Amino acid sequence: MKKIVILISGRGSNMEVLLNAKLNCRVAAVISNRPNVGGLAVAQSHCIPTHVVEHRSHPDRESFDAELAKVIDSYQPDFVVLAGFMRILTDSFVNHYPGRLINIHPSLLPSFTGLHTHARAIKEGVKIHGCTVHFVTPALDHGPIIIQAAVPVMQDDTEATLAARVLREEHRIFPQVLRWLCAGHVELASNGKVINHRRKQPGFALISPALE
């Protein structure tokens, strides 16, 4: 059975979804860069080993990433999953896990990389927003895309209401990706393209606002 290590920075809602999803893999550990966050207690309630590698106790990103990798590698995971992990990782860390480092991002990449994605989507007036699960590469939020989910942006949306709509889709697509990966249905090819051996493409378009 494949093993995964999950990295978090906060309450870990996406992590909790994965823990409750009855995946075809074993969550070997949950690691946070911040102490006393809610996600650690959730993981412990599932009897999963937890660790804190606090970024503030390291003088630079390189030393933090080196310690983080040391803890991760002690579990020999097949995949490392970023579930709300709010740190920019160094190139050397990312390259240490080629095709094994997975992230979920609250936008339809490559649009709205970085932070505050929902507020920026509303400000820009986009009508369709969403979320993306992708392989992590040194280029921030530009790794090969595994799956995306799209939602309409409503005329009266606030950052909070749009975030909640997107989060519901995050909780649907993230477990699916881990099922695919752990079953060998998705892989990252040597040319940087994602191969999905069980891909099903929807035959409809999401149009927002709707046509009359």
Choose the catalytic residue: 46, 51, 58, 105: 105
CB 21 within 8 A of CB 177: no
Active-site residue flag, 105: yes
Query: In this structure, what token pair is assigned to residue 125?
Result: 């007036």
Q: Is 120 exposed, middle or buried (0-12, 13-18, 19+ CB in 10 A)?
A: middle
8, 66, 77 from 138: Cα distances, Å: 19, 16, 20
Query: In this structure, what token pair is assigned to residue 162?
Result: 């749009």
Distance CA 48, CA 39 (A): 11
CB count within 10 Å of CB 168 equals 11
Which residues carry out catalysis?
105
